[in-house]
Amino acid sequence: MEFIVPSEVTDIEQAQEHMAEFQQRIFELENLLDDLARSVEIAQFTKQYNVTQVFVDQALEKLQDRIVLPETKAPELKLSVIEGEADEELVKQLGDKVMAERKRKADLKIVSNNA
């Protein structure tokens, strides 16, 4: 099942269709989970673990149509490697640099949201 981005659903009829589809999907998954939980309870009580296999198979079959999230680009990661001992001044400088970069990015987000 394809992932649906809520902000891209603009038509009320389309939203209602998705909602009905999701409710049906949740209902089916809840029933499968309930069946699986009950079979495990029975198996624990009777020590007959083979009774769970049918319910496991049903659950795995339903999971074949799981929601697939779109791939996202990993955020850019910057690392600083310091060898040896770092004095307090260097640690403070690096901390100040990181905080300034975070503030700059936050300011950019605020400006772009207001534009």
What is the reported pTM? 0.52
At residue 56, what is the residue type? V
* Residue that is written with structure tokens 């209902």 in the block: 27
Render pLDDT for 68-84 as a digit per residue (tens, 0 to 9).
877 777 777 777 676 77
The two tokens of residue 86 are 């770092």
Map out the domains of the chain as residue ranges: 6-65
Q: What is the pLDDT of residue 23?
A: 93
Q: Please state, in angstroms and as integers, the Cα–Cα distance from residue 68 to each residue in 38, 71, 102, following that order.
A: 28, 9, 32
Distance CA 99, CA 51 (A): 58
Residue 110 has pLDDT above 70, yes or no: no
